[in-house]
């Protein structure tokens, strides 16, 4: 089966002017970024702004799980399906962040035959919007510190600076830093912080602004610090607004690309829904409504985060009225919520499904509180059974919402026709009576309590003393009428990520509250959620993952029976599934030990077995058959073995490979050792690709007798 990136790379894209023409957009209303990307001009909006709006369909989901849900895939597939039914559809999605792209997951391009393309561009620099946001954010930070350095005419209290720098990367070491070290001319020494660009206020401002003029007003209202009297200091006070607006003048224009079936897709903005409002830009959504009969948009993470903020923040501010909601779930994810380990999700389990479906139930109830009709769709997997699908369908009908299966990953638009027909039926027969969950007149604490109790199902809200003081200050400054943006983990309805299903009898803990005056909402941080994520234990940068990221199908096999480590590296629990040792010793099924990493092109056969009979295991015909099978099915097979000092292990496995790569610790291995190792490898198989230096730092890059500046990387000394 082809990977997502293989499908994307094989796609025959149309020139973006042809896609635009199909949506009624003239060539001179486009600003081209190559052949397949373009920005939509202000002139286009002026021409279409008075048109009647099409229907607005929101795609959201249950709480995300390791089993996967597929919101973006469904959004793209649904848009393609509408086109097949003769409806003029336009898709409006968020841009992905580089942090997750190089960290845990691969962006927001969809999957299978329901993707937007060019996928590789979208997941990297795209049209540079995020870079512009980062620059505008950090320009304001630079002007703030410079103002203090140049005499501090505004009387800014360095202890009360609230503006943070940002970068579009998961970089945990930047969460808490010290700036201004060095000479007196290098600025005032103070504690500082970074957030990821997608969690920044400027990202929220860009997404919520109506136009460039509104963007400039919002930028000017940003509170960067407080003076010694406790009064707020804004970007306008620092005279930074004009320069920031100039940096964002192109970024505010929506981006146009296409799906695999050439349906137009507006990709613009990308705030995280667990720490920001999680929706694409107002401008892109409004353009989609003017250009198509139906606009399909999505909100990030589960409906308790993305959908709630879409309704209570975005729709409230922009005057949008959604006509229907598509709620995405999978049989696998519901069973996971019911307590089934990821390894066993392929097996039919109606009891677990009955336990886990309460998560879906809560999300249905939540959406219905806003007065919007709901259509539940299952993103189908081959392991789903008819009995499981029937159970969920009956459950949905019993809860007064429609149901449809979706096969858009496998079949593209054709696989979404059943869902599209059900959505069209809902649009024609069920009226949306949309209304926000709470009134603007409520106090901030009442708004927080309403969200916590009504949406999360919490018993009550518990505030840290500092949070209560912050709320009092925010209300004193006149921001009590702002909506609330709850920053909460995405995995659970509660603020504890481990509580799956539908938790009960829990409190929501508020540890910090601050106002995003430019964006126009108040942020309440719950639990342990952070505004700067970290990379996982294994970033998408090692050999196997890098090959997979490049579009190849890769099998990683852990053949180290002396000190197996890949289980720990990939954070797989010991009690999950069978492993390589179970196959070789206990003759378990090979199929049971193959895992897929995050729906990517990387597959793994892991091992947690330490054995005294290592020679027997390595010479096993079964192992040879497994490796041969993988070589036939995969583009690359990467085998992790014991250290080269254990020559017998290496010699045995080298007979089954085409080439070897030697991994060495730069600070502990001598040149002579490496030369000897290369000789061994050459004698066993004959092709050594080179050496990989591990543990390299700026401090250990030089050293006598080691492979540092005095050595020769990957070559004989």
H-helix segments, 385-477? 386-398, 408-411, 417-429, 444-450, 465-476
H-helix segments, 296-349? 308-309, 316-318, 331-337
Task: Verify whether residue 409 is a known catalytic residue.
Answer: yes
**C-beta separation of 561 from 619 below 8 A:** no
The SS3 of residue 445 is helix
Q: What is the rounded CA–CA span in Å between residue 331 and residue 384?
A: 6
Q: What is the rounded CA–CA span in Å between residue 187 and residue 146?
A: 7
Q: How far is CA 15 from CA 43, 264, 420, 452, in A?
A: 21, 12, 27, 47
| The two structure tokens encoding residue 511 | 């540890």
Q: Which of 381, 479, 482, 570 is catalytic?
A: 381
**C-beta separation of 419 from 405 below 8 A:** yes
Q: Which of 273, 299, 303, 540 is catalytic?
A: 273
* Tally: H helices and E strands in the chain: 27, 29
Q: Where are the beta strands (DSSP E) in 228-308?
A: 232-234, 255-259, 264-267, 294-298
* Listed residue (137, 238, 235, 148) closest to 194, CA to CA: 137
Q: How far from chain centre, in Å, is Cα 397?
A: 31
Owner of token pair 């949506």: 23
Q: What is the rounded CA–CA span in Å between residue 362 and residue 499?
A: 14
DSSP secondary structure of 26-93: -GGGEEESSSS-EEEPHHHHHHHTTSPP-EEEEEEES---TT---HHHHHHHHHHHHHHTT--EEEEE
Q: What is the rounded CA–CA span in Å between residue 198 and residue 305?
A: 15
3-state secondary structure 134-188: HHHHHHHHHHHHHHHHCCCCCCEEEEEECCCEEECCCCHHHCCEEECCCCHHHCC
Q: What is the rounded CA–CA span in Å between residue 271 and residue 523?
A: 13
Q: What is the rounded CA–CA span in Å between residue 392 and residue 405?
A: 10
Task: Verify whether residue 221 is a known catalytic residue.
Answer: no
Owner of token pair 């990367």: 169
Task: Verify whether residue 597 is a known catalytic residue.
Answer: no
Task: Verify whether residue 395 is a known catalytic residue.
Answer: no
Q: Which of 88, 105, 511, 631 is catalytic?
A: 105
User: Sign (positive/negative) of CA torsion 150, 155, 159, 162?
Assistant: negative
H-helix segments, 102-128? 119-122
Within 8 A by CB and 6+ apart from 363, the residues are 60, 61, 62, 63, 302, 303, 304, 307, 327
Owner of token pair 């090979």: 590
Q: Which of 163, 409, 561, 570 is catalytic?
A: 409
| The two structure tokens encoding residue 139 | 């320009």
Task: Verify whether residue 633 is a known catalytic residue.
Answer: no
Upper half-sphere CA count for residue 576 (Cβ side, 13 Å) = 16
**SS3 helix, strand, coil % of the chain, rounded to 5?**
40, 20, 40
Task: Verify whether residue 622 is a known catalytic residue.
Answer: no
Task: Verify whether residue 45 is a known catalytic residue.
Answer: no
Task: Verify whether residue 71 is a known catalytic residue.
Answer: yes
Q: Which of 60, 65, 73, 127 is catalytic?
A: 73
Q: What is the rounded CA–CA span in Å between residue 649 and residue 96?
A: 43
**C-beta separation of 274 from 128 below 8 A:** no
Catalytic residues, which ones? 71, 73, 94, 105, 273, 301, 381, 409
């Amino acid at each position: 089966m082809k990977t997502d990136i293989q499908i994307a790379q094989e796609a025959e894209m149309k020139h973006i002017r042809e896609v635009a023409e199909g949506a009624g957009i003239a060539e001179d209303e486009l600003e081209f970024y190559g052949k397949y990307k373009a920005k939509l001009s202000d002139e286009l909006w002026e021409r279409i702004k008075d048109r009647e709006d099409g229907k607005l369909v929101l795609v959201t989901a249950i709480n995300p799980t390791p089993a996967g849900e597929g919101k973006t895939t469904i959004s793209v597939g649904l848009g393609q399906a509408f086109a097949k039914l003769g409806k003029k559809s336009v898709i409006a999605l968020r841009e992905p962040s580089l942090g997750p792209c190089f960290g845990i997951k691969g962006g927001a391009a969809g999957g299978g035959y329901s993707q937007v393309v060019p996928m590789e561009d979208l997941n990297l620099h795209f049209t540079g919007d995020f870079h512009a946001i980062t620059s505008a954010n950090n320009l304001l930070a630079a002007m703030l510190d410079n103002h203090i350095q140049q005499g501090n005419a505004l009387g800014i209290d360095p202890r009360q600076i609230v503006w943070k720098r940002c970068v579009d990367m998961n970089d945990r070491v930047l969460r808490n830093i010290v700036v201004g070290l060095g000479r007196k001319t290098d600025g005032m020494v103070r504690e500082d912080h970074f957030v990821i660009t997608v969690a920044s206020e400027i990202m929220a401002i860009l997404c919520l602004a109506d136009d460039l003029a509104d963007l400039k007003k919002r930028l000017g209202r940003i509170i960067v610090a407080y003076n010694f009297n406790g009064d707020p200091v804004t970007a306008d006070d620092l005279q930074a607004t004009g320069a920031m607006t100039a940096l964002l003048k192109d970024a505010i224009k929506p981006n146009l690309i296409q799906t695999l079936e050439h349906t137009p897709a507006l990709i613009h903005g990308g705030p995280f829904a667990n720490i920001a409002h999680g929706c694409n830009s107002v401008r892109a959504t409004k353009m989609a409504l003017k250009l198509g009969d139906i606009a399909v948009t999505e909100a990030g993470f589960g409906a308790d985060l993305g959908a709630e903020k879409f309704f209570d923040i975005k729709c409230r501010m922009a005057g949008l009225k959604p006509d229907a909601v598509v709620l995405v779930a999978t049989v696998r994810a519901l069973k996971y919520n019911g307590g089934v380990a990821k390894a066993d999700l392929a097996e039919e389990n109606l009891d677990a499904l009955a336990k886990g479906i309460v998560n879906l139930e809560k999300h249905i109830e939540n959406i219905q509180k806003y007065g919007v009709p709901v259509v539940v769709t299952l993103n189908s997997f081959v392991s789903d059974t008819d009995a499981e699908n029937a159970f969920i369908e009956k459950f949905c009908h019993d809860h007064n919402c429609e149901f449809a299966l979706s096969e858009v990953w496998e079949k593209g638009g054709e696989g979404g026709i059943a869902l599209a027909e059900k959505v069209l039926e809902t649009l024609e027969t069920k009226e949306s009576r949309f209304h926000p969950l709470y009134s603007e007149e409520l106090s901030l604490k009442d708004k927080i309590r309403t969200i916590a109790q009504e949406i999360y199902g919490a018993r009550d809200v518990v505030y840290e003393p500092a949070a209560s003081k912050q709320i009092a200050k925010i209300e004193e400054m006149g921001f009590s009428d702002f909506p609330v943006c709850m920053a909460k983990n995405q995995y659970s309805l509660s603020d504890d990520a481990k509580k799956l299903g539908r938790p009960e009898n829990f409190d929501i803990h508020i540890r910090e509250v601050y106002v995003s005056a430019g964006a126009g909402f108040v942020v309440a941080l719950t639990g342990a959620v952070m505004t700067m994520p970290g990379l996982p234990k294994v970033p998408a940068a090692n050999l196997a993952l890098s090959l997979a990221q490049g579009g190849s199908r890769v099998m990683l096999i852990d053949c180290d029976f002396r000190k197996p480590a890949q289980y720990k590296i990939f954070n797989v629990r010991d009690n999950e599934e069978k492993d390589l040792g179970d196959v070789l010793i206990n003759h378990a099924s090979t199929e049971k030990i193959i895992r897929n990493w995050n729906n990517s092109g990387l597959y793994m056969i892991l091992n947690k077995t330490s054995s005294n009979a290592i020679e027997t295991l390595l010479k096993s015909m079964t192992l040879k058959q497994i490796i041969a099978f993988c070589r036939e099915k995969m583009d690359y097979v990467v085998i992790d073995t014991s250290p080269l000092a254990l020559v017998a292990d290496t010699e045995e496995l080298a007979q089954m490979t085409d080439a070897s790569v030697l991994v060495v610790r730069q600070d502990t291995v001598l040149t002579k050792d490496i030369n000897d190792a290369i000789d061994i490898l050459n004698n066993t198989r004959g092709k050594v690709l080179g050496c990989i230096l591990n543990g390299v730092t700026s401090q250990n890059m030089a050293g006598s007798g080691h492979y540092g500046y005095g050595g020769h990387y990957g070559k004989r000394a």
